[in-house]
Amino acid sequence: MSDTSAFQPRRPEPDFAQQEQEHPGWTGPMDPPPDHGEDSYRGSNRLQDKKTVLTGGDSGIGRAVALAFAREGADVLFTYLPEEGQEAAETARLVEEAGRAAVAVPCDIRDEEQCRRLIERAVEEWGRIDVLVNNAAYQMSQPDGIAAISTEQFDRVV
């Protein structure tokens, strides 16, 4: 029989140290810093003059989408949780630096009334919504597996 241990699948491992943060996570202390496309993404006017609404646009994938939309020519109204105001200000700066309008709206989309006010605000700002991206999400790492997820965490994620 041949030795099959050499053929065991391996998961890719990051080439930087593991990092832990309290929730919500912040972009600032990440090392290396995440790439939202600040130096790499070049737009080509595919969304020229579109009016967009993006939930969860303050950081992570949301920030990358906001920046990409702005570089494609769109104005961006995005949501963030109130405790993430510093992150939201940085996203707004990046959108405006790309030459587009940024409107940062504190909003918890789990609340239906806040969602209604969000859409009213977008229509108030621009008269229309051309693109809506529902990106807002909640994620908590569970190193002990799925059995360690509380009912509250499950309900919030879903």
Instruction: Summarize pLDDT for 99-132 with one digit per residue, the tens.
Output: 999 999 999 999 999 999 999 999 999 999 999 9
> What's the pTM value of the predicted model, to 2 decimals?
0.80
- Contact call for residues 52 and 80 (beta carbons, < 8 A): no
In a domain? residue 84 = yes
- Per the structure, how many domains does the chain have? 1
Predicted pLDDT at 140 = 74
DSSP assignment of 97-126: HTTS-EEEEE--TTSHHHHHHHHHHHHHHH
For residue 75, what is the enclosing H or E element?
strand 75-80
The CATH number of residue 129's host domain is: 3.40.50.720
Residue 111 lies in domain: 40-136
In a domain? residue 87 = yes
CA distance 55 to 153: 20
Q: What are the φ and ψ backbone dihedral angles of 68, each rounded to 5 degrees?
A: -60, -45
Instruction: Summarize pLDDT for 10-31 with one digit per residue, the tens.
Output: 777 777 777 676 666 666 666 6
- Contact call for residues 66 and 93 (beta carbons, < 8 A): no
In a domain? residue 49 = yes
